[in-house]
Amino acid sequence: MQISKKSLLRIHLVEKRFPRLEGQRAKGRNLQLTAQVKGEENLVEEIQGRLCQQLVLSSKAVFQELQAV
């Protein structure tokens, strides 16, 4: 079986492009992970805000009960 020059050129082009495509895929994966982490950071900030609000409300309620006594 003989491989034509055209086929060899295609193989060579694929070999040249493959590392670049792998790099792009890795970059895309990193961007996806970054977005996921940022989403989780936003969720953590939202939860912290809600917990702070609940703490303030609870503190006010306790303070009011202490004043009533």
| Chain segment 8-49, per-residue pLDDT in tens | 788 888 888 888 888 888 888 888 889 898 889 999 999 999
CB neighbours of 11 closer than 8 A, spacing ≥ 6? 3
Question: pLDDT category, 1, cuts 50, 70, 90?
Answer: low
Domain range annotation of the chain = 1-68
Q: Give the pLDDT of residue 67.
A: 82
Question: pLDDT category, 54, cuts 50, 70, 90?
Answer: very high
Q: Helix-strand-coil percent breakdown of the chain, rounded to 5?
A: 95, 0, 5
Higher per-residue confidence, 52 vs 18: 52
